[in-house]
Amino acid sequence: MKIVYVTFRGHFSDSPRALYRAIRECGIDAEHTWLSAERTQRTFPADVDTITFGSPESIAALEAADLVISNDHIPLDWDKRPGTTYLQTWHGTMLKRIHRDVLWAPEGRLDYLEHDIARWDLLLSPNPVTTPRLRQAFGYQGPVHETGLPRNDVLTSPERDDVRARVRTQLGIPDHKTAVLYTPTWRDDLVFEGTAERDFDFPIDVDDFTDRLGEDHVLLLRLHNMVTGRLADTGTVRDVSPWADIADLYLAADLMVTDYSSTMFDFAVTGRPLLFFTYDLDDYRDRLRGFYFDLAEVAPGPLIATGKELLTAVADIDSITAAYADRYAGFRRTFCALDDGHATERVLDLLFASGGATAGPTEPERG
């Protein structure tokens, strides 16, 4: 069996990585190939076979595959041969609208991505709330399986404390320091209409963060894969965007600051505090992208409009945690019920159990 893995056009991460490791551990006889990017190649282990994403060799690998596993659209021109199964894991629960539900997109982009959607045989959903939204946005009529996302299994695994200790050591974060993970999403207009220098506007005053919190806090900046801009590391701010798997960073962090990113749903599995730095809320919600639900009504933490208010909230995180405890619990019941550490097992059963998906496309089903 030939299996090709694709994560965000060339990363070694997310649910495809969790499935790759599990398939290898199970001893399934398979030839594994990852599509990598030049800038991410160093994040792949030496024993992982890679081909450059977008190269003629990558097209040939996709067209020869028995199983393709991806967490996002594969925006390449390739012909899926009869008998190939394409598993689309997608990359998270959505607050912001996607695909045909968005308020704005560059001309022609969505039409082009339709070619990839037409190749999907199976689609994973992280929870029942997300399933109908995935179907609606993609116009997808094939099987959707509510398995949870394999990438999140590590967050509840017996190894999670060891992972936390290892990652903090590698990042040089001592035990007494509070690690604040900042995961802003990308802004469509900056990426598609801006320049390389303006695809991300950093809204936190680094000097102010350092002056007020630098003695016992460190800010970990994790930019979205669609964004190419970078912030230079300082003693208090670390750019962890190149880190291969964000789940490691979830475990290393003590609290998260985000805006409209799907990382909020993953991080909630840890039970650690969440703050929402929504300085451009009205524009993002009403003009740029649109939301599937009212963030203010369900957010398991406060919506914060200014950098100074954000730093005050970080300093007072214990009080905020107590104030939002009930709402946080409700958020987890709604969005994290399937994050029980067994999503990978459920997907392997789906793919490789007798009569499973690798034998060919199946009838629509959930679960």
For residue 65, the domain's CATH number is 3.40.50.11820
AA identity, residue 150: P
* Portion of the chain with pLDDT greater than 70, in percent: 89
| Same domain? 114 vs 196 | no
DSSP state of 81: P
Closest CA to 261 of 277, 273, 237: 277
AA identity, residue 62: L
pLDDT of residue 366: 44
The model's pLDDT over 242-267, given as tens digits with 9 standing for 90+, comes to: 898 999 999 999 999 999 999 999 99
Q: Residue 95 in contact with residue 104, Cβ under 8 Å?
A: no
The model's pLDDT over 138-184, given as tens digits with 9 standing for 90+, comes to: 999 999 999 999 999 999 999 999 999 999 999 999 999 999 999 99
Helix (H) or strand (E) holding 69: strand 67-70
| Same domain? 122 vs 164 | no
The model's pLDDT over 75-102, given as tens digits with 9 standing for 90+, comes to: 999 999 999 999 999 999 999 999 999 9
| Same domain? 22 vs 168 | no
Chain mean pLDDT for the chain: 90
pLDDT of residue 365: 46
| Same domain? 214 vs 132 | no
Here the CATH number for the domain that contains residue 326 is: 3.40.50.12580
Domain of residue 98 covers 2-152+341-359
Q: Determine the Cα–Cα distance for residues 19 and 4; give it in Å rounded to an integer.
A: 11
Residues whose CB falls within 8 Å of the CB of residue 329, separated by 6 or more in sequence, listed in order: none
| Same domain? 122 vs 221 | no
Domain count, the chain: 2
Strand intervals (E) in 136-292: 144-146, 178-183, 217-221, 237-239, 255-258, 274-277
Structure tokens of 361? 């496309």
- The pLDDT of 37-44, averaged and rounded, is 93
| Same domain? 277 vs 176 | yes
In sequence order, the β-bridge partners of residue 218 are 179
Q: How far is CA 229 from the centre of its chain?
A: 18
